[in-house]
């Protein structure tokens, strides 16, 4: 008689559990990014307080091409909402000449229209497959760039009186800033954006109680087209 081989041990029974769900992780958000950029535009000088009384016809608006350049810093809360700040240099066209309001009253203008600006705006983004559409809105703090040379002088020949106001660098103004753009993803952390925008001065160029009766105290509004490169920190 031959001995019977030992029985193979039974494999342990493992019940079939529910299949594990596979989930795709959402792309991580690059919270910080920087963007060097520049723009070309068109600026208009208006005076909503006095209206069109012909004063601007006596002045010369410079032929310098309005434009801006700067560096934006962005912090994204998520893929849709972000906060933008930075620093930029803006040229909005010069204004020079003399407005004669009467035989004895005249006002001389020498304004460069050059500003150092600090933006602060909120941005809403609509992410698409290979690009982002966005809209942003906020404000600008504007600082006069030509301290000592930008000035307004009022002459009263009947009183033999000359009053001169020199705009200091700290003469701050504010402006509304709105933009709509598209950002196209390039390689790695780089993207290219194109953005039409509109800026409107909320305060006049001359902000001084002694010069509140200027024949023309302009506010500047500018349409511009900007482009730049965005670098995201992952």
What average pLDDT is seen over the chain? 87
Residue 215 bridge partners (DSSP): none
Comparing 57 with 16, which gets the higher pLDDT?
A: 57
Least confident of 6-20, 121-135, 140-154, 200-214: 6-20
Confidence check: pLDDT of 26 > 80: no
Q: pLDDT tens digits for 161-195?
A: 889 999 887 778 999 999 999 999 998 899 999 99
Distance CA 131, CA 86 (A): 23
What is the pLDDT averaged over residues 79-100? 95
The predicted pLDDT at position 171 comes to: 74
Distance CA 176, CA 138 (A): 6
108 touches 58 (CB < 8 A): no
171 touches 205 (CB < 8 A): no
What confidence category does residue 207 fall into, taking pLDDT thresholds of 50, 70 and 90?
A: confident
Which residue is listed with tokens 């005249």? 106
Distance CA 156, CA 108 (A): 12
Distance CA 99, CA 196 (A): 34
What confidence category does residue 24 fall into, taking pLDDT thresholds of 50, 70 and 90?
A: very low
């Amino acid at each position: 008689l031959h001995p019977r081989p030992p029985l193979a041990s039974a494999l342990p029974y493992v019940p079939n559990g529910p299949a594990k769900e596979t989930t795709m992780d959402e792309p991580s958000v690059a919270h910080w990014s920087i963007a060097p950029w520049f723009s070309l535009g068109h600026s208009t000088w208006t005076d909503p307080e006095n209206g069109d009384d012909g004063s601007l016809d006596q002045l010369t608006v410079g032929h310098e091409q309005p434009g801006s350049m700067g560096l934006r810093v962005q912090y994204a809360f998520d893929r849709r909402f972000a906060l933008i700040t930075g620093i930029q240099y803006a040229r909005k066209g010069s204004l020079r000449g003399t407005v004669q309001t009467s035989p004895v009253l005249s006002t001389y203008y020498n304004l460069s229209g050059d500003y150092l600006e600090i933006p602060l705006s909120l941005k809403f983004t609509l992410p698409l497959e290979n690009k982002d559409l966005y809209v942003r809105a906020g404000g600008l703090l504007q600082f006069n760039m030509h301290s000592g040379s930008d000035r307004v002088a009022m002459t009263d020949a009947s009183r033999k009186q000359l009053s001169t106001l020199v705009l200091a660098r700290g003469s701050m103004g504010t402006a509304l800033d709105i933009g709509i753009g598209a950002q196209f993803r390039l390689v790695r952390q780089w993207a290219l954006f194109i953005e039409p925008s509109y800026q409107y001065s909320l305060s006049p160029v001359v902000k001084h109680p002694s010069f509140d009766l200027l024949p023309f105290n302009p506010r500047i509004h500018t349409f511009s087209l900007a482009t730049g490169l965005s670098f995201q920190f992952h």
